[in-house]
Structure 1
């Protein structure tokens, strides 16, 4: 038990309430009302009742809230109290033949399976989610798949079970609902599973790898989906299905018959549109019996129709949180569902006999009538004429938010303790609790401290009146019990307010996947452009296995201009990279030609340009190091209180960036740091922390933004964030009159303004600061050349922080280490809801329905049409279909002031649908816009689609994105790849990584400057970065003499057989990594990974690995070529080191000879039948030993 919630038990009403519930007849229960509850008191009552009812033998309870956000907040509180809780979300129906993401469906399956497995004490949900039809309990149990280490396993049978359970077969498992087969290895990623670790059982969603020896399981365990490496062994597992709707062969046949009947009617009625759609459904079912539109035939698949409520037996405990709000949600969701179904019936999308997807409101009321239902409310009320089992009145009050305001807390504590209250003060963590205790004792309060979980030995009755107990909190909101006199106060954040006394403990956040991956498994496909460092830009045409003289090797086939072809040995894959450049997506890249000097010239120009930029950057860095700036003082309690007042959990990268920036500010050298981060990753909060530090140091801060509307939004955000802190904030922009601006500038000059936010107006000659210490520049690349020059002049000796929403590649960050200070935010906030994403052929009916659904819930819509010429006609068509909506267009050819007015109207909610070009990519945040429609999505780059999708999903509401392409359009290979990748976005799969790579390319261009774009495109990103890194090291005097490349040709078959790894794309990625082996550690690492993922490597793969390490050793010895001729090996160096070879020959008499013809080289005799690779490896190691010894003597 936890004393924070246990104190509700001190109220005599609680005992009466608990007795009433316990003694009520389960077969004829009556509803009970607990009224007078503040939010925090309702939390405490819920926790205490769940604990007591569980002790009394009651089963799993159900809590119904009016909003998803309230469910997730309660979930956090219950989890902190040690109660096993889960949230069952609503699922959006997919009634069309399109591709949809499945995160919410997987979450529902997890909850249903966990409930049946008895792992939850309580399930939280909303009324519409509770009533929506789902997989019946019996079907769910039947579809669960179990695999145990001590049992035999038929792979064919397992594959059929997985397909029947909705799993999709892929080359490499990356997301829930996928499985892969590779010889005797099966990888499965269940949405939810019960994992057995011998004596311990764990629940969650981790991919598993099953290694077979025949039909026997040799090893089974979990693995990391990013690295694909084995984590730990398990005894077995039980997996949920991957879909809620499961259609076996018989059901699929029944659905086909139903479609055929509808098709016959549509053709008879001459309805070509409906006929086309139904023919598409038939084709989709032929290809995949788990087609997305199966929701349409739910009643055919599950005639018994069950919802979440049917899983709970009669007499189950049910808590209704805020009855009036739940009732309103129930009515509005049923009305919305009926409206949608009516429109779909009228449009011919649905057939009447299948149009049932949710139970009616009456079913919810009946469920409550047959359950032990407790209504938790702030106001006392009856239940529309129904007899009550009891009405209990609690006298509680909501306590205020302290939000970092220590003085307000002290004032309230003084009032409570003088009034004889027992006060429980919840701090966020141990450090905060200790600090609070010390501060309060110093102020004369009678305060106790406990760091034990839940208060330890302390009880509320043992706490003296007028005293305070400080303890670690559990996310509960504060409340006051008038009788008895108890106050629970909280200084910890609850998603809306901050903490006092310490640094916040962060929740686990999602670091961007794929940032460490050398090459994503499907990053190189046939037809992709590649760059070879020597031969230039070509087109990858696949792998060919060639056998010469009985020796088999794989070669990468690359097509160049004309009829030129290059067959590159796979051990040289480290010289090849995928071409990444701005022209790649529009097909305007010219292939290089063998023998032409053009590639050499392009490479030389890029190298010279890289050298120039390295010189400039190092010069600027050196100049900055010579300038003297202002050293801000270390953090104090005021700074810590401001940071603790942040209403959300910081990501790790946010904390790292903030610390780096503050360290820069505390140095005497002026700061010049770039802060990069994707949309919504928290750059503004980091900037505000720097701003507050500057203000506390007695300096002014200027925040420069590219547009008026962004200035307004930053201004409003700053007012909200700095509320309660001594920071005077103002703004200069077009939204202020000339008179207002003059007054602001006078105040700025006097020093009466601490933080000024504005557009380029801040760069005007009449703007003067009294004591400017920090300049924050948002999206510098969007300012003009003249404005950038003025920014440079403004900088002088002050600290400068530049923000950009375009991330930069980690490789570029590393290349510029030591000459440019860069911080990267690469983690999404942990509380971000995924965006429900659909990819589909354009269908006006679907799009209009999607817009209507958003408007009905009071939201707004972004409609992206990226052609200015006909954007007005698109808007006109939408107005005809949606006469009730306010629809406005926006595009880049409009006047800047007009565009800013439109953004202002969007922010105020006066526009329902904004039809625009890609200008929304860098627009302002509109939290109320949560549906995005993109037409002609195949014309946009992945990075654009990624950033545009970031425009929605910025609030607690579920967001939707529809990426459409024209019907019957033959998509180009590039466009097809883009759309395939978009489908994987929600799962952070391979498509997400490719989009980020493309997006980072734009970031690289922005950082390096427009003059570098041409060189970057000419040689490709990877080669340009390599040249830049070499140039930087050279300019810094840290360059080392480059080692020559080496070709190893031995009479040994060395390749990855297709029988070992079937996927060509996976083999390519592994060839790339094997070619980069440079140490024994690298070799062991890749060997372990191969064993993990594919089983024991066959002989050709082992040989390939050994030769890769041998090549690395040969390069260390400055050997350029190793060639086997029978029992002899010839070794070539650019300059033969005769002295070292003569010394080595003493160790190998009659086996080493130095020859001068046809060129100087070393001839090595091997032992017949001996291990050539092992012998050469030993030889090269001894060569290096002698060479290093000789070099040290010379020195």
Structure 2
């Protein structure tokens, strides 16, 4: 061979091995295993990205528009400031160190009036909001305490049947799945009602977690109710549950609104006498005519798709029993209680090993594009979906597809088909006898067709971003490269917001991108229905990011704390030559302003260096300042100033303040004087590094809060 390599014979082996190895002259290469646990993915530079022209909320001034980052001179040193524009084109310069008081509201698409810097009522509105959020937090805490006091069955399933069921899983569990399964099993065995949410992107294996939990409960002789928002998804779950639990002595039955009356009556009788172990259905399971003999677990898939009335019925059904919710939406209304740990939450963030990102293309409709996409998929033995937004659009789309690809088998599915007919269509698709399924978004959730690798979506501008991502997730589940075509109407010009939304879907096609897309959808389309009628008003007032922060603090019983005031006489800027992108500089400043633990400064330093290269002196000084600010918080320091001639310190007004000040005066006899409420230390310094070292030296000698 070229290059002097000895001749070799490669071979492909399907093996489950922990690592590669060499044996008897054969070298076996294995995929590097995914890391278990660990620190997880690196945190973004900002809690939520804040860009120029975004809307943001300043805790003291209200909603303004971000106009960029500027550098001004403060105390003879350069300092970065965030420029915010308010009503009547008034501008506010926010020092970078104070960006922990600025929270993102939304993109410039959010239609909201800017507050005024003078004569506004922001402070009164914020106070009322905090009172309302406090009441919401107390209600959530009461609910959590009531649930904690309630007893629930201890689920300890027999090991043998659980092993047999788990062995039937045709894939290797991902690290995220293992963590979620372990967390759910621990809660089921706790003796308290489980209230657990599993968040995972489309196709990441949420159903397997629910299946393990349901099997564990059913094997102990108790009953399980599995609810899905549509009959199609319920049918899919039913088939999976029956296949995986076949021969293990469990009766699994459906209960949906479209069932024959006699069949539904039989299932209800089985639930009442305990002979049905697992019921899989839609809102029909919430009917007052349904009685369970010994219900122990309620599983709700895509909970956010159930209506208000159904949610009230669901609350009645799940009272005192274990509850498991599944969602592909990262910030649904069900996540509210999880913000401060009031409910269990697991995030499955590791994709299946063979899963590939779906290639996505947005373009004006062209018959040749549609035909070539469908024929190419047929040629490689796969299936395709063609989706239209409305039932009324299906006849024209079906006729068009039949004319373009006359040799392909075509079926139609929508929510108004009789249940039996819809079920037969989906069975035909699953069995591979249908080449192209023309449908409404009824296939959006849960449909698992491994051979489906192409989806064509007509008029994507009529769908939400999250909905488009869900539809895209219906293809590419079998390991083959999948494609999504978003075909717009050439005669209907797209607005700027729509183009940006579709462009986002093209740009974010990586595995796990559903989290980013769902947040972007929330950002671009608003959060009006996120938390119900009352809380939606709160979200409109302050935006999702600040609302979550305020709610989390209220749940934790913490007061809004004022950041220590630092004036250190050193540069507070990120050079544009080091980080040219203004949005990244804003993000880094936000990250530094939110640093609450001085020990986190070094890992952040390593992250910045890894991403952007060796740190210039200005960024090193920023990190050191952020660490000092975090230390001042911990030590109860209200203000710290330092310069070439000394250091001054003001402590928070606490019962031990006088004792701590006296201790410092004894330690620094002859070098300290008292000026009003400050202690001033005579320490000379040359250059920024010595100034910061002097500040650290004084803090090193400060007795901790609580010293008597």
| Alignment partner of 1:573 out of 86, 99, 106 | 99
Matched, 1:1058 2:576: yes
Matched, 1:529 2:40: no
Q: Equivalences for 1:685-764 in 2 at 5 Å?
A: 685-734=208-257, 736-764=259-287
Matched, 1:922 2:440: no
| Alignment partner of 2:626 out of 1087, 1108, 1112 | 1108
Sort the Cα spacing of 1:1093 and 1:81 in 2 relative to 1 into closer, same or farther, 3 A: closer
* Deviations, residues 321-353 of structure 1 (Å, cap 9, x unaligned): xxxxxxxxxxxxxxxxxxxxxxxxxxxxxxxxx
- The residue that corresponds to 2:692 in the other structure is 1173
- The residue that corresponds to 2:601 in the other structure is 1083
- The residue that corresponds to 2:126 in the other structure is 603
- The residue that corresponds to 1:1182 in the other structure is 701
* Deviations, residues 599-657 of structure 1 (Å, cap 9, x unaligned): 33443344334323322222222222333332233542222232233221112222222
Preserved contact between residue 865 and residue 935 of structure 1 (Cα < 8 Å): yes
* Deviations, residues 945-995 of structure 1 (Å, cap 9, x unaligned): 432211111234432112455679997665565455434434459x76632
Preserved contact between residue 699 and residue 772 of structure 1 (Cα < 8 Å): yes
- The residue that corresponds to 2:8 in the other structure is 59
How far apart, CA to CA, are the structure 1 residues paired with 2:318 and 2:649?
58
Matched, 1:995 2:517: yes
3-state secondary structure, aligned to 1:776:
strand
What TM-score comes out, normalization by structure 1 length?
Answer: 0.52
- The residue that corresponds to 1:676 in the other structure is 199
Matched, 1:905 2:417: no
How far apart, CA to CA, are the structure 1 residues paired with 2:586 and 2:707?
41
How far apart, CA to CA, are the structure 2 residues paired with 1:531 and 1:679?
32
Over the residues paired in the alignment, what is the CA RMSD in angstroms?
A: 4.2
Preserved contact between residue 511 and residue 826 of structure 1 (Cα < 8 Å): no
How far apart, CA to CA, are the structure 2 residues paired with 1:690 and 1:903?
26
Q: Equivalences for 1:989-1138 in 2 at 5 Å?
A: 994-998=516-520, 1008-1009=531-532, 1011-1034=534-557, 1039=558, 1043-1122=561-640, 1127=645, 1131=649, 1135=653, 1137=657
- The residue that corresponds to 1:248 in the other structure is none
3-state secondary structure, aligned to 2:66:
strand
3-state secondary structure, aligned to 1:1068:
helix
Q: Which has the higher contact order (CA 8 A, sep 6+)?
A: 2
Preserved contact between residue 512 and residue 827 of structure 1 (Cα < 8 Å): no
Sort the Cα spacing of 1:772 and 1:1107 in 2 relative to 1 into closer, same or farther, 3 A: closer
Q: Equivalences for 1:446-525 in 2 at 5 Å?
A: 508=34, 517-519=43-45, 523-525=49-51
Sort the Cα spacing of 1:527 and 1:968 in 2 relative to 1 into closer, same or farther, 3 A: farther
Sort the Cα spacing of 1:939 and 1:538 in 2 relative to 1 into closer, same or farther, 3 A: farther
User: Which stretch of the first structure deviates more once superposed, 794-803 or 74-83?
Assistant: 74-83
3-state secondary structure, aligned to 2:229:
coil
Deviation at 1:842, TM superposition (A): 4.5
Deviation at 1:796, TM superposition (A): 4.0
Preserved contact between residue 1044 and residue 1118 of structure 1 (Cα < 8 Å): no
User: Which stretch of the first structure deviates more once superposed, 1007-1016 or 820-829?
Assistant: 1007-1016
How far apart, CA to CA, are the structure 1 residues paired with 2:585 and 2:327?
37
Gaps of 5+ in 2: 1-5
* Deviations, residues 1035-1092 of structure 1 (Å, cap 9, x unaligned): xxxx4x5542133334332312122223323322222222233444223223333444
For the pair shown, the structure with the greater C-alpha radius of gyration is: 1
Matched, 1:1141 2:661: yes
How far apart, CA to CA, are the structure 2 residues paired with 1:804 and 1:1117?
42
Q: Equivalences for 1:797-836 in 2 at 5 Å?
A: 797-808=320-331, 816-836=339-359
* Deviations, residues 1120-1160 of structure 1 (Å, cap 9, x unaligned): 4445687466655664945543442343345543334xxx5
3-state secondary structure, aligned to 1:773:
strand
Sort the Cα spacing of 1:932 and 1:667 in 2 relative to 1 into closer, same or farther, 3 A: same
Preserved contact between residue 333 and residue 531 of structure 2 (Cα < 8 Å): no
Deviation at 1:588, TM superposition (A): 1.8
3-state secondary structure, aligned to 1:1111:
helix
| Alignment partner of 2:155 out of 632, 639, 648 | 632
Preserved contact between residue 513 and residue 988 of structure 1 (Cα < 8 Å): no
Preserved contact between residue 732 and residue 741 of structure 1 (Cα < 8 Å): yes
What TM-score comes out, normalization by structure 2 length?
Answer: 0.84
How far apart, CA to CA, are the structure 2 residues paired with 1:921 and 1:994?
18
* Deviations, residues 898-937 of structure 1 (Å, cap 9, x unaligned): 6995575244237655555655433633444321223555
- The residue that corresponds to 1:327 in the other structure is none
3-state secondary structure, aligned to 1:554:
strand
Preserved contact between residue 200 and residue 328 of structure 2 (Cα < 8 Å): yes
Preserved contact between residue 80 and residue 96 of structure 2 (Cα < 8 Å): yes
How far apart, CA to CA, are the structure 1 residues paired with 2:20 and 2:608?
43
3-state secondary structure, aligned to 2:161:
helix
Matched, 1:559 2:80: no
| Alignment partner of 1:845 out of 354, 361, 368 | 368
Preserved contact between residue 585 and residue 974 of structure 1 (Cα < 8 Å): no
Deviation at 1:996, TM superposition (A): 5.0
How far apart, CA to CA, are the structure 1 residues paired with 2:378 and 2:364?
23
Sort the Cα spacing of 1:702 and 1:819 in 2 relative to 1 into closer, same or farther, 3 A: same
Sort the Cα spacing of 1:572 and 1:889 in 2 relative to 1 into closer, same or farther, 3 A: farther
Q: Equivalences for 1:209-288 in 2 at 5 Å?
A: none
How far apart, CA to CA, are the structure 2 residues paired with 1:513 and 1:585?
34
Matched, 1:538 2:64: yes
Deviation at 1:1026, TM superposition (A): 1.4
How far apart, CA to CA, are the structure 1 residues paired with 2:419 and 2:263?
23
Preserved contact between residue 676 and residue 803 of structure 1 (Cα < 8 Å): yes
How far apart, CA to CA, are the structure 1 residues paired with 2:200 and 2:619?
41
Preserved contact between residue 815 and residue 1032 of structure 1 (Cα < 8 Å): no
User: Which stretch of the first structure deviates more once superposed, 716-725 or 932-941?
Assistant: 932-941
* Deviations, residues 795-830 of structure 1 (Å, cap 9, x unaligned): 344333233332349996895455222333222222
Matched, 1:655 2:175: no
Matched, 1:642 2:156: no
Sort the Cα spacing of 1:818 and 1:525 in 2 relative to 1 into closer, same or farther, 3 A: closer
Count of residues paired in the alignment: 694
3-state secondary structure, aligned to 2:444:
helix
Sort the Cα spacing of 1:709 and 1:836 in 2 relative to 1 into closer, same or farther, 3 A: same
- The residue that corresponds to 1:954 in the other structure is 477
3-state secondary structure, aligned to 1:562:
helix
* Deviations, residues 64-87 of structure 1 (Å, cap 9, x unaligned): xxxxxxx7xx44479989589xxx
Matched, 1:623 2:146: yes
Sort the Cα spacing of 1:998 and 1:698 in 2 relative to 1 into closer, same or farther, 3 A: same
| Alignment partner of 1:1154 out of 674, 680, 684 | 674
Deviation at 1:512, TM superposition (A): 13
How far apart, CA to CA, are the structure 1 residues paired with 2:170 and 2:17?
20
Q: Equivalences for 1:343-382 in 2 at 5 Å?
A: none
